[in-house]
Structure 1
Amino acid sequence: MLTAVLILTAALCASLTLLVQQGANMAALQDSTASQTIARLPDASTDAQDRQADESSDGSEDEATDSSPNGTSGTNSTDEPPTENQTPSESETPDSNPTDDGLIDLNTADAQELDTLPGVGPAIAQRILDHRASIGRFTSVDQLLDVKGIGMKTLDKMRAQVTVR
């Protein structure tokens, strides 16, 4: 009988030890996940700048992204010089015009165009341009998550307005 009690006590101790170790591992995992999430969150000043930019661009966003069928209103790419990633012939083709379908191409947009996106202010627009310069070209809209200050919520707000061509 004493042997059975000792065996059960040893099993209980082993079980409790494993439970404590598992709890410690879970706590460490949650801490690392929380720190990664915090690292991806924009700072309060960037948030305030973005909200301020969004409020100041009310109404002007439609004018900047809409163009009439004859191309007389909105941004006209033939009036502007091509960006550094475009050749002159690309800026004249309808497929590369970022306003044809109302979507902003992440690979050709300038800071002004990016600033019209919801959740994007001048600081984040510049970070997007810097990230594009560092990677060459965007291959997916989801690569915006690599830009500091853009998280899932911000990406979800702008996803319908951006594309990668």
Structure 2
Amino acid sequence: MAAGDLRAARQLYQEALRQNAQNVDALNGLGLIAAHDNQPDQAERYFRAALRADPADGVANAQLALLYAEGDAAGAEAKLRSLIASQPTNAAGHFALGNLFSRQGRWAEAQQALFQAYTLDSNNPDILFNLAVSLEQVRQPALARQFYERALQANSKRPAGFDPATARARVEALSARR
């Protein structure tokens, strides 16, 4: 399967669910794909199923908070902070909080949360990419370029939600500034 091939990932997750309907990784994977495809109702169903299988699952809890952020950003932030307090080594909570801050233009806070997610999961291409975006927003272009490059490397090993062409374009643009 090529990195970034969401259709193939969806098929593999669905096969895993056919073998075990309580497979939390597959449920979360399908939830993330549905969220990526802008299908929040379907994403919510998968994340809720993951929580029925494992009520402490950090990925599902974090993603549900993000799904509800549109209607209640303050509530989503409080829920994510609570999740992080109870599961401080869960990269998904820090990643979700960083994404929430990014949506709100709170770039310094986003960068801090995303860096914490990176320290917990340094090979996650989406964390690397979003950290690069936040670094660019807080005017750290050299570091941002390095993280875009790392995101592209990580994407060659693991599917990601970002478009690699966008990351390559940012690397080129930031390299031209040097």
Provide TM-score, normalisation by structure 1: 0.30
- TM-score of the pair, normalised by structure 2: 0.29
Highest RCO, 1 vs 2 (Cα 8 Å, sep ≥ 6): 1
Normalized per residue, which structure has more helix? Answer: 2
Q: Which has the larger radius of gyration?
A: 1
